[in-house]
Amino acid sequence: MAQSLTTIRNNAITSIHGRRLGLDRDETIVGTVGVKQVITDLTSATTSTVVPAHGVTVCRMSGSATTAINGAFLLSNPIPGVACHIVRANTSQAATAGSTAVAFQRATTAF
């Protein structure tokens, strides 16, 4: 069932920021156009980058990243209830099965 932004905003029972943001009777956020997320790019040149525990991480590795140093990244400790998406982006038209290895590791298991 389609609902317009105006209809959704009219269903807010608790206002957080006027009609633009609020909570409905199911305690879900209503009135927003969308949710912006942090996007982090990982390449073989950014191996010292720690993968954040939120947002979207795009893994843009090439065949030159097959060494243990160039393809290893540390994961931040998770934040319970917060989604973190790691996706692989490939700009090549050719199949690259087995040509790129990437490792994601957590420094600790305590969080």
User: What residue spans define the domains of the chain?
Assistant: 1-33, 36-111
Which residues share a beta bridge with 23?
14, 29
Q: How far is it, in rounded angstroms, from Cα 33 to Cα 48? A: 35
Q: Please name which of 40, 38, 58 lies closest in space to residue 49, comparing C-alpha atoms.
A: 40
Report whether 44 contacts 50 (CB < 8 A): no
At 60-97, the pLDDT tens digits run: 776 554 444 556 788 888 888 888 898 887 655 554 55
Q: So what's the pLDDT on residue 65?
A: 46
In tens, the pLDDT along 7-42 reads 888 888 988 888 889 998 888 888 888 888 889 888
Is residue 88 within 8 Å of residue 59, measured between CB atoms? yes
